[in-house]
Structure 1
Amino acid sequence: MKIEKEKKITFLYILNKNERRNMRKLALNDEILLKIEKPARYIGNEVNSVMKNKNEVDIRFAMCFPDVYEIGMSHLGIQILYDMFNKREDTWCERVYSPWPDLDAIMREKQIPLFALESQDNIKDFDFLGITLQYEMCYTNVLQILDLAQMPLRAEDRGEEYPLVMGGGPCSYNPEPLAPFFDMFYIGEGETVFNQLLDEYKTYRKAGKSKKEFLERAAEIPGIYVPAFYDVEYHEDGTIDSFKPNNSHAKEKIEKQVVMDVTNTYYPTKPVVPFIKATQDRVTLEIQRGCIRGCRFCQAGMLYRPTREKDVEVLKETAKAMLESTGHEEISLSSLSSSDYSKLPELIDYLIEECSQRKVNISLPSLRIDAFSLDVMSKVQDIKKSSLTFAPEAGSQRLRDVINKGLTEEVILEGAGKAFEGGWTRVKLYFMLGLPTETEEDMKGIAHLAEAIAKRYYEIPKEQRHGKCQIVVSTSFFVPKPFTPFQWASMFRKEDYLDKAKIVKEEIKAQLNQKSIKYNYHEADVTVLEGILARGDRRVADVLEATYKKGAIFDAWSEYFRYDLWMEAFEEAGINPEFYTLRERPLDEIFPWDFISIGVTRRFLENEWKKAQQEVVTPNCKMQCSGCGAGKYKGGICIEG
């Protein structure tokens, strides 16, 4: 099936009165829908969306991604939970996304409450509002969701008549900057104890129990954190003195929940198909969870340990079912490091045969650029349109050893050379500036590596080249994240980051092949704020709320980000933002997230921090077990050990 797009969908579902008579009433009338950009973001009724009779279910769950529809519809985690919850006869899970600023303004003016896509009912009439926390710069949108739903922002102000607000996702591993706004957080993978939580909710509601009584029971369930049941005290210097439960039902440590059998767990074979083009407009096939690589800057690589593979035969069946149920024209493999999946050659061979029959493209992210990968990509990509991506992350081998990247310049140049000989002419290079121990020579090394790759292209005989090559260098600024070996590291001021980017830019201009090299860098002010929110404590919540009330939303979008509003709010709150960014933390400091256990031990992270400063490399998990602690989820023996 071919899904119609953009304006055609808008007119079909909005202007066709006969069709409208057969639909449930929309929360927005035609006049409003025709005034806003992309009305199809809000009308629901997409292919494979789930409709139920709300009078025949016991639990109504609104699943929220606090960003625009096109971003949220690309998120695999919500698709999995949406499918899982709706498999329950007693539960109806619906979706909600952040209204774009054009609709946001109209909803506030006309007092239109935020609604779910499927039923178009008010969010505040649901039992649960679950918000996935994928990126710190979406935090003001979390408050936007609560505000537009006409709910008090703070959990302590929401009575029995309001839904329970819970958070999950990678940012929930430091939930403290958002703690006052949430009733609870789910720490871990949703397929584990969510069903138990929903069953308990049914029991407590039928018994007429209060919200607090349910939260006390929920706090006893593994992986559930209830912020109101904990108190924080601070030293005079602003660091944390203690973090302790104030309720007998609350646990000292919240254990991350992990699905070990990822083959026989929930996975949607009929994902919802958006009417308009999503950011990831394709079928997503998750092939494994976790990563063996151990990059010291990478939060996902630590949070999602241990590595767990899915059975290749099940993947083949799932891929076929999803393609048949969606009509998508592309399928993508989802993994932190696809090349490490042991059955990748077999899976690729199957997909090439299956997709060629259906005229479906195959997207292969997270591949190491080696001979096998290049051979595969030559079969599945249009060479004229494709580019290859390398993520050296640092400009020198010394700094790559510091971050434990495990990628040498020799490997990069060899991969680029094979790619050029195979017909590729465009290479994307991703780096970070501001990494621990970074020197000016490391920064200049970014330009030198780009030059070496360009030079490698022009070493190919002219008659074998495919026009000019383009090397696109992109640098982001490093942000230390919780539960990484770099969680103790300091950051820099906005001006310092810009100076670093200037060094790279000037060095690129000094290269012989500068015309073949394009340079982009990330916003420095966004990086500073991301660092504050990533490692912040509960006191940051006051700043977040104040900034939102000043008008901040969609901070992840550069056209809407207002750094000045944040700095005003920090000043008014009497909080110095540099407390969260410029300090290198001592090893014995209590972090706001220390009450969470992710399996990977603090001792392991400390040792990796020390090894980084000594420029010592840790082998990947397949080469040698590093004893990180995640093996406990395998009964004491890690799958790679």
Structure 2
Amino acid sequence: MNKLDKILARVQKPSRYAGGEWNAVKKDWDQVDVKMAFAFPDVYEVGMSHLGLQILYHVVNKRKDALMERVFAPWTDMEEQIRKEKVLLFSLESQRPLVDFDILGFTLQYEMSFSNILNMMDLAGLPIRSKHRDANMPLVIAGGPCAFNPEPIADFIDLFVIGEGEEVIHELIDVYKELKEKGTNRQDMLLYFAKHIPGVYVPSLYDVKYNDDQTVKAIVPTKDGVPEKIGKRIIKDFDNVDFPTNPIVPTMGVVHDRVMVEVLRGCTRGCRFCQAGVLYRPVREKKPETLVRQVEEMIANTGHDEISLTSLSTADYTGVAPLVKNLLDIYGERGVNVSLPSLRLDAFSIDLAKEVQKVRKSGLTFAPEAGTQRLRDVINKNVTEQNLVDAVTSAFQNGWSSVKLYFMIGLPTETYEDIDGIAEMAKKVVKIGQECGVPRGRLKVTVSTSSFVPKSHTSFQWEPQNTLQELRDKQKYLKERLRDKRISYNWHDPETSFLEAVFAKGDRRLGNVLETAWSKGARFDGWSEHFNYTLWMEAFTGEKLDPKWYAYREISYEEVLPWDHIEAGVSKRFLMREHKKAMGSEPTMDCRNGKCTGCGLCPTLEIRPMILGGVDIAPIQGEV
């Protein structure tokens, strides 16, 4: 028995690290020029549920001159064994140490995974700071939503990819291969990437200057030819973009154990708290025939018994009803279920819900987000209480007995009347269930609240977060008003949301805090059993930084934001206008109806929304 086998025999879930799954790709190392490792900074079960991993794995491994293997954050029992046995963190496919790879790529899905990124580099035998890594070590790159404010981890990453990765990853591999053959040194290679590949941000080539009041004064390039602003990459022909129809099938239960088909990318709704709605603009829909073909190949190649139609708002897909009916006609008799992970109240159709529940029935989930119409207008959530009443009435009349409702607390301008509105809405849903004849023992309404976290590139990026005490008081207040056996209430830990806000709005100085917290033992901060709030506060104290300054401060429009050099395509002027409209409870219409809202993205990125059926959104030229 070799050392690795001994280690796996001692850990709780060895299949997290064993590899060898159906459709996994294992290439001959000697036959490829560029070796990449996709690093997901969370456990296997979470990472293998991430569609982006499957897409990039497929895109790279289709090339004859490159390979991509996977690595996930080892759980604490595995970390203990790795350190005890002095084994370097390795990939799943070949069990090779990560230091053998040319490129190590992290996906940044969640600020609370940052400590895992440092830990994985350390377990791999790599210096965690970019400046300490030498020419024999892999380039450490990162992308994903958190790359739109990369500053808190800028000192640890060699280069960031801003935006969608299916095309830019080929450019990175091509250039890396060419420069490697020429013997180009690490710094010159990074400089070339920054100068010649749009969407690439190399933080070591920028200097951050601060004002006396600790705000950012400027972020400036230190070399000629390095762009002052880095714009996001976007896929223009989404219908024909490479997509994995032979995804890896996990050998253990994962969070989303099913076929995932991306029906559209982007969202036109314009909810003012939603970062994804900005980062993935504009809306691009795939043709139904493309989706049917992809589903057919994926079912044949995986054996999964559930098809998930994924997007930010799947019910907005132009042909969603006929697509669902078509898929169920083909696969329903085989026991294959179709699921829609996101149902909007105003797009809800009980007929559609009945279709998707034909094979397996489950509860329904809706997200009113706020308890009053005034606050829904503030956040631009264009749904009404009547939408909810109609939706749950239809649901209860058609055999459903349980409903989940998602809200946010701590939203800008929120009052206790808005909290009362959440309780009243939940009680109204219970009453509707009773009136529709749902048996008392079966009727269940689950209310879940998350705490608002202001995010970069949104209309609320200038807003403060509620204090910990304010969030705790609101949670307690709501809990008191939801005392009903038919209503259960779940809420998020406000301390985690506080730290998330700090890193979401933070600058480069937070890197020292992150390193200190990691060195003190911070791991898996998104997991309640591992999150140690006291440890983090000690790290802030030790680095003489006040986390409250980042999370609780109202920011002026004139202030330079730490992420102002990263461009998502939506103009700052538009976000300011949306913020002012929010403060006046004035909604903005969905641009899907054909009227451009003037966000500036289409002319900036030279792209038009791709909506089936031909709703033509005439973009306003220039910024608004």
Question: Which TM-score tier does this pair reach, normalised by the shorter chain?
Answer: over 0.9
| 1:489 corresponds to 2:463 | yes
Conserved in 1, the CA contact under 8 Å of 2:324 and 2:356? no
Q: Provide closer, same or farther for how the CA distance between residues 481 and 296 of structure 1 changes in structure 2, counting only shifts above 3 A.
A: same
Is the CA contact (8 Å cut-off) linking 1:498 and 1:524 kept in structure 2? yes
Determine if contact 1:423/1:465 at 8 Å carries over to the other structure: no
Question: What whole-Å deviation, never above 9, does each CA across 1:566-620 have from its counterpart, x for those lacking one?
Answer: 0000000000111101111001111111001111110110000000000000001
Alignment partner, residue 580 of structure 1: 550
Instruction: Indicate the residue corresponding to 2:217 in structure 1.
Output: 241
What's the counterpart of residue 149 of structure 1? 124
Which stretch shifts more, 370-379 or 108-117? Answer: 370-379
1:326 matched to 2:310? The reply is no
Percent of paired sites with the same residue: 48
Q: Structure 1, residues 489-520: CA drift from partner, whole Å, max 9, x if none?
A: 001222221001011111223xxxx2211111
Aligned residue number for residue 47 of structure 2: 72
Q: 1:52-91 to 2 correspondence within 5 Å?
A: 52-91=27-66
**In the TM superposition, what are the counterparts of 1:134-145 in structure 2 within 5 Å?**
134-145=109-120
Q: CA 1:224–1:370 in structure 2 vs 1: closer, same or farther (change >3 Å)?
A: closer
Q: Give the equivalent residue in structure 1 for 2:326.
A: 350
Distance 2:427 2:445 in 1: 9
Residue 186 of structure 2 is aligned with which of 184, 206, 211? 211
| TM-score, scaled relative to structure 2 | 0.96
Structure 1 counterpart SS, 2:516? helix
Sort the Cα spacing of 1:183 and 1:27 in 2 relative to 1 into closer, same or farther, 3 A.
Answer: farther
Q: 1:110 aligns with which of 78, 85, 90?
A: 85
Tell me the equivalent position of 1:375: 351
- Superposition pairs of residues 318-467 of structure 1, within 5 angstroms: 318-369=294-345, 373-381=349-357, 385-460=361-436, 462=437, 465=439, 467=441
Whole-Å separation in 2 of the counterparts to 1:235 and 1:634 = 32
Q: 2:480: which partner in 1?
A: 506
Contact 1:217–1:249 (Cα < 8 Å) also in 2: no
Q: Structure 1 residues 593 and 376, CA, compared in 2 at 3 Å: closer, same or farther?
A: same
8 Å CA contact 2:345–2:368 kept in 1: the answer is: no
Q: Distance in 2 between matches of 1:180 and 1:159?
A: 15
Q: Structure 2: which 5+ runs fail to align?
A: 611-616, 619-624
Name the amino acid aligned to 1:478: F
Corresponding residue SS for 2:362: coil
Decide which of 554, 558, 566 is 2:528's aligned counterpart: 558
- Give me the whole-angstrom Cα distance separating, in 1, the residues matched to 2:572 and 2:64: 42
Between the aligned partners of 2:499 and 2:209, the Cα distance in structure 1 is 24
Single out whichever of 368-377 and 617-626 deviates more from structure 2: 368-377
CA drift at 1:27: 6.8
| 1:382 to partner: Cα distance | 6.0
Q: CA deviation at 1:637?
A: 5.0
Of 577, 592, 601, the residue aligned with 1:630 is 601
Please say if 1:255 is aligned against 2:225.
Answer: no
Match of 1:46 among 1, 13, 21: 21
Once residues 491 and 381 of structure 2 are traced to their aligned partners in structure 1, the CA distance between those partners, rounded to angstroms, is: 20
- Runs of 4 or more, structure 1, over 2 Å off, are 367-373, 382-385, 464-468, 632-641
- Note the C-alpha offset of 1:377: 2.4
Q: CA deviation at 1:57?
A: 0.4
Letter in 1 for 2:443: C
Deviates more, 1:358-367 or 1:146-155: 358-367
Amino acid at match of 2:517: T
- Output the CA distance in 2 between the equivalents of 1:393 and 1:170: 21
Gaps of 5+ in 1: 1-16, 18-25
Structure 1 window deviating more from structure 2 (352-361 vs 614-623): it is 352-361
- Cα deviation for residue 369 of structure 1 reads 4.3
The answer to whether the 8 A contact 1:632-1:638 is kept is no
Measured after TM superposition, the shift of residue 68 of structure 1 is 0.2
Report the CA distance between 1:296 and its aligned residue. Answer: 0.3
Q: Residue 373 of structure 1: CA displacement? A: 3.1
CA distance change for structure 1 residues 554 and 230 in 2, over 3 Å: closer, same or farther? Answer: same
Q: Residue 187 of structure 1 is aligned with which of 158, 162, 170?
A: 162
Aligned counterparts of 1:634 and 1:40: Cα–Cα separation in 2:
43
Which residue identity lines up with residue 136 of structure 2 in the other structure?
E
Q: Is 1:531 aligned to 2:501, yes or no?
A: yes
TM-score normalised to structure 1 length: 0.93
Alpha-carbon distance between aligned partners in 2 of 1:561 and 1:137, rounded to the nearest angstrom? 9
Quick one: structure 1 residues 187 and 68, their matched pair in 2 at CA, closer, same or farther if it must change by over 3 Å? same
- Contact 2:512 2:543 (C-alpha < 8 Å) held by counterparts: yes
Residue aligned with 2:522, SS: coil
Contact 1:269 1:322 survives alignment (8 Å): yes
> Do the aligned residues in 1 keep the contact of 2:135 with 2:185 (CA within 8 Å)?
yes
Corresponding residue to 1:571 among 526, 541, 554: 541
AA in 2 matched with 1:424: W
Q: Which residue of 1 aligns with 2:621?
A: none
Aligned to 2:613: none
Q: Give me the CA root mean square deviation.
A: 1.5
In structure 2, distance between residues paired with 1:525 and 1:593: 24
Tell me which amino acid in the other structure corresponds to 2:429. Answer: I
1:207 is displaced (CA, Å) by 0.7
Match of residue 454, structure 2, among 464, 480, 492: 480
Q: SS state of the match for residue 71, structure 2?
A: strand
Offset at residue 371 of structure 1 (A): 8.5
